Amino acid sequence: MTKKLTDAAPPDLAKVRNIGIIAHIDAGKTTTTERVLYYTGMLRRMGEVHDGAATTDYMEQERERGITITAAAVTSFWHDYQINLIDTPGHVDFTAEVQRSLRVLDGGVVVFDGVAGVEPQSETVWRQADEYHVPRICFINKFDRVGAELDRVVAMIADRLHARPLPIQLPYGEGVSFAGIIDLFEMDLVKYTDDLGLQQVREPIPADYVERAEAARARMIETIVENDDYLMEKFLQEEPISNDELKAALRDATIQNKVNPVLVGSALRNKGVQLLLDAIVDYLPSPLDVPPVHGTHPRTGEDLERHPSDSDPLSVLIFKILTDPFVGRLAFFRVYSGVLRAGSGVLNTTKGKKERVGRVVRMFADRREDVEAVHAGDIAAILGLKDTFTGDTLADDNAPILLERIEFPEPVIAVAIEPKTKADQDKMGEALRKLAEEDPTFVVRVDESVGQTLIEGMGELHLEVLVDRMLREFKVGARVGKPRVAYRETITRAVRAEGRFVRQTGGSGQYGHVVVEFEPLPEDSAENFIFENKIVGGTIPKEYIGPTQRGIEEAMSGGVLAGYPVTHIKATLVDGSWHEVDSSEIAFKIAGSLALKEGVQRGNPILLEPVMRVEVVAPDEFTGDVIGDLSARRGNITGMEPRGSGASSIRALVPLGEMFGYATDIRNETQGRGSFTMEFDRYAPTPQHITDEIVKGGRR
């Protein structure tokens, strides 16, 4: 059904759903999204990923590769419920897109391949959703394929994801004979009488499925009543419990992340998506069902909270930047409280700068519809912001609040890049700046030792797509070098370092002096850098503390071993001195950088290398060769399990530096029948012999 978007009245928040479609690559997220848009009346015809015609895959690079690269936001309606939906990428190189989407979403639909089950990126997005406490329902897709099996996938969700999956449907038929879905609430069979899945009919459950359905319904009821004291009492007293009571209790348990309802279907064959839409409405939270957002006062540090109400002061989080070659920079945002109006003035509390809101638009993938205002609990985009980027907070100048920023993983791979012609040189700098503004995991830096510009990202595909965008969107020709590992440097022992900057050139000079204690952070620390101020008694005035911290952070861009960025350290400012005439912010900034250099030099520095989680799926006859090859690449085998049809899954932790060219090697080892996925796990110390090679320049 279609509905005209208007500005006349705020939406009924109880009927708003902010959800994301998340999963491993090729599980069927975009195909599912396409069906959602079709059945909600936002599309006249369905596009297919394999035809390059999916609505949310609107970038040329997405259509050519048949994968989702950037998260696309769409607003649609189902039975008077407004669904703000974000289709996220499944490829590990674009995991930051999932992370920043989950930060602003209230619920998620996790799509699983009915044959492959829980795959590596499924685990990653599940952990990210756990981090943000996002309630989820599971949609097990591809039941039209031979080998799809509900019980096995449910067991994998429970085992690998430590979740509590609860099937509320059963598939009727398997593979090419998959013909419908058994509804365990209504205890009937939903079948489809047309290829588009528009005509649903409900029939009695066939006799050969009745026993299985009754057993599954009994398990479903037991699990639901376990999470509701009132229903548990009725259950124990053998009083009847209505479906409405069961659904209300399941909704509460889902919102509290105690249970994950499991639905089945085949998005490609147009089966089960309308039932999924019903489940989104029935079980996932509205903005009213999630806790109020918390933040701090940007000046006093006081804890604040905002409720999803138009009457509360404005609080907005920018979660994504997209550069459009025609209209400029688009900033996607979530309004947590208040009303954001086109043409209004707001305060960027992250940077302390005022901004003028230009056009406010609702997104329909790559199409836009202007609106006058966006109310609390809603998601949309702004055109015209100058100094606002991902993770920034916009608020009312009279009631400022600073919301928690979004943390992103560090880049793990780098390539050298240079313009092809003199004309490309200036354009390349501007293009790289705009792309870095969009993508927090894309870093541009200059290797001073050789004068090269390096671009760093989450993987080879990530950088390949960005370079391709430079050529197509910004018309910049560039030559790209071979991939190299993005190593990092850190210290291994606590040290006390001094930074003193003194310049006297006649008249007023420059004086800054700091004493800083540096110590390594734990390997599993979520923070890369922590700064603590322990100055007492005014040894250093407050106005010089911030510049000292900035000086340390800027100096961390290049270490002392091989010039790689420094990470995983804590800096505690403990002492120093100042001069009433000669001291300045710049002097203390330089003093901070000098302290960092000395601290790293004396802190027994080491190199860190990115270690990847690798999963290889190969026929059983080749598993010995695969394990031997991974071990030869300094890999640590962490697990192995059967995958059905004579194949096995081998999981390992392998340094990224040993994985270049593996795509070709695995094809050769398995006669073209093996495949692998790889994602970043952590940074770990590099063996000394490899560190020596890197420092000498023999390995990059």
Whole-number pLDDT of residue 57: 40
pLDDT of 500 strictly over 90: yes
CA distances from 578 to 135, 501, 512, 585, 596 (A): 52, 11, 6, 11, 19
Q: Reply yes or no on whether the pLDDT at 627 is more than 60.
A: yes
125: tokens are 């997005």
Q: Residue 5 above 50 pLDDT?
A: no
Q: Of 100-104, 309-313, 387-391, where does mean pLDDT reach its minimum?
A: 100-104
Q: Which of 425, 408, 424 is nearest to 462 (CA)?
A: 408
Is 390 a residue whose pLDDT tops 50? Answer: yes
Pairing between β-strand 293-296 and β-strand 315-324 as defined by DSSP bridges: unpaired
Question: Quick check: 513 pLDDT over 80?
Answer: yes
Q: Which distant-in-sequence residues (6+ apart) come within 8 Å of 382 by Cβ? A: 330, 331, 333, 340, 357, 358, 359, 360, 361
DSSP reduced 3-state for 675 = strand
Give residue 204's pLDDT. Answer: 95
Whole-number Å distance between alpha carbons of 1 and 81: 11
Is the pLDDT reported for residue 335 higher than 80?
yes
Predicted confidence (pLDDT) at residue 457 exceeds the cutoff of 50: yes
Question: Taking 80 as the threshold, does the pLDDT of residue 143 lie above it?
Answer: yes
Cα separation, 245 vs 36, in Å, equals: 27
Question: In whole angstroms, what is the distance from residue 555 CA to residue 544 CA?
Answer: 17
Tens digits of residue pLDDT in 29-39: 888 888 888 88
Asked whether residue 42 carries a pLDDT value surpassing 60, the answer given is yes
210-260 pLDDT per residue, tens: 999 999 999 999 999 999 999 999 999 989 999 999 999 999 999 999 999
Q: Who's near 295: CB < 8 A, 6+ residues apart?
A: 303, 304, 305, 306, 315, 393, 401, 402, 403, 404
Yes or no: say if 366 and 358 are a contact pair by the CB < 8 Å rule: no
Q: Is the model's pLDDT at 518 over the cut of 90?
A: yes
DSSP annotation of 605: -
What is the distance between the alpha carbons of residues 588 and 573, in angstroms, rounded to a whole number? Answer: 12
- Note the Cα 673 to chain centre separation in Å: 30
Angle between helices 662-669 and 623-632 (to 10 degrees): 150
- Phi, psi torsion values for 578, nearest 5 degrees: -145, 165
Summarised one tens digit per residue, pLDDT across range 176-210 is: 889 999 999 999 999 988 888 888 899 999 999 99
Close Cβ partners of 236 (under 8 Å, ≥ 6 residues apart): none
| Residue 179 contacts residue 191 (beta carbons within 8 Å) | yes
- Rg over alpha carbons for the chain, rounded to the nearest Å, is 27
The mean pLDDT value for 449-465 works out to 81
d(CA 556, CA 568): 10
Within 8 A by CB and 6+ apart from 598, the residues are 497, 498, 499
One DSSP character per residue, 649-670 reads EEEEEEEGGG-TTHHHHHHHHT
- The strand pair at 328-337 and 315-324 is best described as antiparallel
Q: Chain-wide mean pLDDT for the chain?
A: 86
Q: Are 95 and 121 in contact (CB under 8 A)?
A: yes
| 8, pLDDT greater than 90 | no
Binned at pLDDT 50, 70 and 90, residue 174 comes out as confident
CA angle, residues 295, 296, 297, in degrees to nearest 5: 135
- The values of phi and psi at residue 112, to 5°, are -120, 145
Give the β-pairing of 339-341 and 81-87.
unpaired
Question: pLDDT digit string (tens) for 317-332?
Answer: 998 888 776 677 888 8
